[in-house]
Structure 1
Amino acid sequence: MRTPAWSVVFVCLLLTSGLAGLVTATPPRPGTEDNGLTENETATLWSRDADAYLNETAYRQRYGESRTPIQQLANGTDITFTRPPATAATWTRNDFRDLSAGNSQTSLYPDHASLTSGRFIDDAHATVFAVHPSTRGHLEAGETPLYVAPEGAIRGFVDYRVRIPDGHHSNRSSITWALVDDGISAVRLKSDDDVIVRTGGSHTPVLAYQLDDAWSTTLTLEADIDVRLKQTTTTTIGNRTQTEVAYRTETITVADSLDVEVYNLHASAYDAAYPNGDTGVAIFQSRPWQGYTLTEDGDSRVRGVWRFYTARDPRWDRLTQATATDETEIHSEALPVYVHAYPSRIGPRAEPIRDGPTILDSWGRERTSPHATLPETVSVEVVDRAYTPTYGLAVRTDNLDRDALSVSGIVRGVDATPITSTVSSGPDRELRESRLTAEVVSQTNEQATVHIELRDTATGSPIDLTADERHVSLNGESGGGYIAIADQRVRTNESGVAVVTIDQPGVYTARYHPGTWLVATPAYVSDTATVRWHPLGTLDGWVGLLIEVGWQFIPFVVVFYAGRQILRFFGLRDDSERYP
């Protein structure tokens, strides 16, 4: 198992201090539970807990032991992951063994259980504990689907209590009741209306499922509960006593349903060759996915917008223990933990950071921020505005092993080899070099006109970006390439020419931004051109400058002349006039 990458920094804890104790039904203190995870792994699970940091000095005084840096970090903030971790499923699988049902006179159930009662059976329920591998996706407000792997296991909790009728006694007769037998006779798992798994009775059933052909479905956990009681009726007639024995039975079916999205990963990949030998790769998948690797060792990879955290299902924090006379709330010994996926403000990333792939574009239907779907106690860098969920992601790389190209999903263990379509050798999406030129063709003191020309380097043919504009991008919006200069976007005409007017002196760089090679035919690589403009670059500019400077000096000349005249008027002479 690959070690998860921590996406938070420990230094932030040094800014926070305080005292906070652990209360009932909160995550266990590090080192107090053995659930198949290391202490550090266990500490990363609890993103729903209150991040009230207990500093290390106070912790040692209270518990007589120290914590690792990861444990301290998890006590003060939430730890996120770049890939769906296995820790949630491991914890849930092992912690589930601590879940125990009551006896025949006691029923245990969480608050969200759907209770059913009959004549002899009371407080009966079958409740889904967890399903794994799975990931709860936070797509936007009102949309938080649970994605489950096509093959996995669902864990449930079934319990009930037997209501034994009170006996009846009179002078001549009596009726008594006794429990003969009770139990769970069968457990089933349905996908919509089809039974896909059957198993024997159990209070804590584990049902392995396979949902290869489904896209979305409703998983229903069903259990049959049987009870058999003995009714003894004794009647006294004179000196004779008559006893009658009858057996009463009851069967109740209880169920719980869970709507899921079956996470089948089927990705399509497209690649093309750049003139310098680089490769363009674009991969599409119709659901959120984590990213893809470009090399066998996995060092060259691309991540989409999704990040992950783990959190318990707080509905299982406490259970109700019900008997015929009392209901008591108790601490639950088992806490299911789920992986959650959310769009991060960090956005798509390529690795290695310095010399790895270059992200060209991403596609997906724009969504609103899912910030409201996260509990207040979860502190992660979720986007706070509209975002693109990266259903498609294109990169440029000089390090591609097509045989090793692999896509990773947001559900742990669900990966895929994309269906690849190589377009570099075909004429439809040929990548070519472009040549961009820019020249000042006319100018005044106030503005200049720049003539921009874009041509195919190999053929010399003009590149018409107005025709390119008619292409539609993968987001359904107007697509195509454009030229950016002086905060303006322009497109060349059928002659490959565009004209731009600039009104501020300076050095300007025109840059050609090609349309994506997945849409444009043919497709080109970018190019740049530089142009300079200043009014002093013309004779008129210099004449205008001299006139402007002359006008600026007129007040000084007038003052100087007036001063000399005043001196003459008062009879003052300079040295040349006094001494001939």
Structure 2
Amino acid sequence: MNETTYRHRYGEGRTPIQQLANGTDITFTRPPATAATWTRNDFRDLNAGSTQTSLYPAHASLEDGVYIDDAHATFFGVHPSTRGHLEAGDTPLYVAPAGTVRGFVDYRVRIPNGRQSASSSVRWSLVDDEVAAVRLKSDDDVIVRTGGTHTPTLDYQLDEAWSTTLTLEADIEVRLQKETTVSIGNRTQTTTTYLTETMTVSDAIDVEVYNLHAYAYDADYPDGDTGVAIFQSRPWQGYTLTEDGDERVRGVWRFYTARDPRWDRLTQATATGETEIHSEALPVYVHAYPSRIGPRTEPLRDGPTILDSWGRTRSSPHSTIPDTVSVEVLTQSYTPTYGLAVRTDDLDLDALRVSGIVRGVDATPITSTVGTPRELRESQLTAEVVSQTTDQATIHIELRDTETGSPIDLTADDRHGSLNGESGGGYLTVADQRVRTNESGIAVVTVDQPGIYTARYHPGTWLVANPAYVSDTTTVRWHPLGTLDGWVGLLIEVVWQFIPFVVVFYAGRQVLRFFGPRDDSERYP
């Protein structure tokens, strides 16, 4: 659709990004408003058929009665909403707790054929037909009622629900007149009767009500930085750390918009047959998918640092995205970032705001721990070679609390589970080995290759460990020549290596003396 056609149809122009979206797939870092806007505008072009014609999409659930045929009530759109692509077989439709449902109701009236004989005749005519009422139900409860219309628009409220089945119901009423004329001799008697039919048609969709309840935890680092971790039991877009929104964190989710292709073609049904036509009204939805880009922070260079993310590992939802859509969806297992922790030097706790994957659904963290942060302590890591031979060395590593001098026992961290369900707690790495200190804060590592070794303390997450610490590193050098035994061993090895050369040299001298030229004193006695 060119710009002139769009402006003629909708009475307004498109932004450059909307024009670009016509020719390629545009992805978004947050759920866009364009899906709801396009759906609302296209809905104006959806018109029901005439009394003798029913218009419906292929997925409509059709009902036939005595006088009512091809009747249906079908959801056109629910907004704000987002279709989540979590994994194969799991693509829930998340809807905002308060939003708008648009539907389409249509039918056709079957008027019986009249008959006529020499003495009688029957004529049928339509007196009245209408969509008498439309209702929206959440499970079995009616939440919205409205008068009859072929294109109902219903504003709903679902504050307390977690998941529900939305049902669009419509009552269709038809009133026919039957006129019977009987001739008896010269007398003609006409009887008029009225027949009515009421039919209820419906459509249902399962939805997840996107109530965003986020939980936040924070901690103070010794250098003045702040750690923030936020959890939400459903996919969410990210959060802002400052009032101006310059400091932001995004999770793994990205977004694209796509039409509902089931509305591309409509069927026109009459008493004589069916005709397929092109649809001018196309509902559009927002889709959320896990992106290969992964979690990100803003600004990129000087922004927050992502510490960790949590969530149940899921398989790729690549198969749930149509081939006609080209986005950078993850093709392997991923963590859906239900929890995301960062470290930042710029945080306004009062401005902390979480954004959901459904447009307009945001939340302030509701946990009381925000504002009472946990204090992170500095750690001191030392390492030294305590014994060595020419083949190996034993490195003694010690980890202590810098402020108190108390040993840090990492074996105690085994009692804590990490947020990913793995064995939790801190640990040390040195020489490609992972070790933990004992109750005295000591760990021992044996190495057999000369070199410089770096020992690093990887603290357990401050959300689990108590007390919590920051990382520290230290280095230690080992070489066999660093000891007297090493030098003696080297000397012995050198001597042993040179013995064959000494023997050959001595033997050569003896041979030369025996066979070589002699001086005059030896030649003449």
User: With structure 2 as the length reference, what TM-score do the two structures score?
Assistant: 0.93
Change (3 A) 1:319 1:519: same
**Matched residues, number:** 517
Are 1:182 and 2:155 matched, yes or no? Answer: no
1:209 equivalent in structure 2: 156
Are 1:169 and 2:116 matched, yes or no? Answer: yes
Query: How many Å separate the matches in 2 of 1:386 and 1:232?
Result: 70
2:309 equivalent in structure 1: 362
2:483 aligned residue (538, 561, 575): 538
- Could you give the per-residue CA deviations for residues 389-409 of structure 1, whole angstroms, max 9, x where no partner exists? 111111111100111110000
Change (3 A) 1:250 1:439: same
Q: Conserved in 2, the CA contact under 8 Å of 1:271 and 1:421?
A: no
Query: How many Å separate the matches in 2 of 1:132 and 1:511?
Result: 51
Are 1:447 and 2:392 matched, yes or no? Answer: yes
Q: What is the identity, as a one-letter code, of the residue corresponding to 1:349?
A: R
Query: How many Å separate the matches in 1 of 2:120 and 2:69?
Result: 28
SS in 1 for 2:65: coil
C-alpha displacement of 1:83: 0.6
Are 1:40 and 2:13 matched, yes or no? Answer: no
Q: Conserved in 2, the CA contact under 8 Å of 1:45 and 1:312?
A: no
Q: How does 1:39-58 map to 2 (within 5 A)?
A: 40-43=16-19, 45=21
C-alpha displacement of 1:541: 2.4
2:401 aligned residue (449, 456, 465): 456
| Higher mean C-alpha displacement, 31-40 vs 552-561 | 552-561
Q: What is the identity, as a one-letter code, of the residue corresponding to 1:450?
A: I
1:65 equivalent in structure 2: none
C-alpha displacement of 1:274: 1.2
Change (3 A) 1:424 1:551: farther
1:246 equivalent in structure 2: 193
Q: What is the identity, as a one-letter code, of the residue corresponding to 1:303?
A: R
2:291 aligned residue (344, 347, 361): 344
Are 1:477 and 2:453 matched, yes or no? Answer: no
Are 1:287 and 2:234 matched, yes or no? Answer: yes
Are 1:465 and 2:428 matched, yes or no? Answer: no
Q: Conserved in 1, the CA contact under 8 Å of 2:216 and 2:230?
A: yes
C-alpha displacement of 1:193: 0.8
Query: How many Å separate the matches in 1 of 2:254 and 2:35?
Result: 15
C-alpha displacement of 1:424: 7.7
| Higher mean C-alpha displacement, 413-422 vs 495-504 | 413-422
Change (3 A) 1:113 1:44: farther
C-alpha displacement of 1:422: 4.0
Change (3 A) 1:81 1:531: same
Q: How does 1:557-568 map to 2 (within 5 A)?
A: none
1:218 aligned residue (165, 168, 191): 165
Q: Conserved in 2, the CA contact under 8 Å of 1:430 and 1:521?
A: no
Query: How many Å separate the matches in 2 of 1:573 and 1:354?
Result: 86
Change (3 A) 1:223 1:450: same
Change (3 A) 1:112 1:45: farther
Are 1:520 and 2:465 matched, yes or no? Answer: yes
C-alpha displacement of 1:175: 1.0
Change (3 A) 1:414 1:424: closer
Q: What is the identity, as a one-letter code, of the residue corresponding to 1:95?
A: D
Query: How many Å separate the matches in 2 of 1:292 and 1:176?
Result: 69
Change (3 A) 1:155 1:425: closer
Between structure 1 and structure 2, the one with the greater Rg is: 2
1:391 aligned residue (326, 335, 338): 338
Are 1:504 and 2:480 matched, yes or no? Answer: no
Query: How many Å separate the matches in 2 of 1:308 and 1:414?
Result: 15
Change (3 A) 1:565 1:312: farther
SS in 2 for 1:98: coil
Q: Conserved in 2, the CA contact under 8 Å of 1:215 and 1:263?
A: yes
C-alpha displacement of 1:509: 1.2
Are 1:228 and 2:170 matched, yes or no? Answer: no
C-alpha displacement of 1:469: 1.9
Q: What is the identity, as a one-letter code, of the residue corresponding to 2:6?
A: E
1:61 equivalent in structure 2: none
Query: How many Å separate the matches in 2 of 1:573 and 1:259?
Result: 114
Q: What is the identity, as a one-letter code, of the residue corresponding to 2:399?
A: L
Query: How many Å separate the matches in 2 of 1:285 and 1:265?
Result: 7
Q: Conserved in 2, the CA contact under 8 Å of 1:441 and 1:451?
A: yes
Q: What is the identity, as a one-letter code, of the residue corresponding to 1:256?
A: D
Higher strand share: 2
1:62 equivalent in structure 2: none
1:430 aligned residue (375, 379, 383): 375
Change (3 A) 1:178 1:274: same
1:278 equivalent in structure 2: 225
C-alpha displacement of 1:456: 0.6
Q: Conserved in 2, the CA contact under 8 Å of 1:136 and 1:146?
A: yes
- Gapped regions of structure 1 (runs ≥ 5): 1-27, 47-70
Are 1:90 and 2:37 matched, yes or no? Answer: yes
Query: How many Å separate the matches in 2 of 1:345 and 1:552?
Result: 58
Q: Conserved in 1, the CA contact under 8 Å of 2:216 and 2:370?
A: no
Query: How many Å separate the matches in 1 of 2:278 and 2:71?
Result: 20
Q: What is the identity, as a one-letter code, of the residue corresponding to 1:147?
A: Y
- Could you give the per-residue CA deviations for residues 267-317 of structure 1, whole angstroms, max 9, x where no partner exists? 111112111111111111111111100001111011111111111111111
Query: How many Å separate the matches in 1 of 2:502 and 2:113?
Result: 123
Aligned-pair Cα RMSD in Å: 2.2
Identity %: 80
Q: How does 1:140-155 map to 2 (within 5 A)?
A: 140-155=87-102
SS in 2 for 1:356: coil
C-alpha displacement of 1:44: 5.5
Change (3 A) 1:425 1:288: closer
SS in 2 for 1:421: coil
C-alpha displacement of 1:542: 2.8
Change (3 A) 1:207 1:308: same
User: With structure 1 as the length reference, what TM-score do the two structures score?
Assistant: 0.85
Query: How many Å separate the matches in 2 of 1:285 and 1:572?
Result: 99
Query: How many Å separate the matches in 1 of 2:39 and 2:305?
Result: 39
C-alpha displacement of 1:556: 5.4
Are 1:493 and 2:438 matched, yes or no? Answer: yes
Query: How many Å separate the matches in 2 of 1:453 and 1:311?
Result: 58
Q: Conserved in 1, the CA contact under 8 Å of 2:98 and 2:157?
A: yes
| Higher mean C-alpha displacement, 277-286 vs 127-136 | 277-286
C-alpha displacement of 1:158: 0.7
C-alpha displacement of 1:29: 5.3
SS in 2 for 1:310: strand
Q: What is the identity, as a one-letter code, of the residue corresponding to 1:41?
A: I
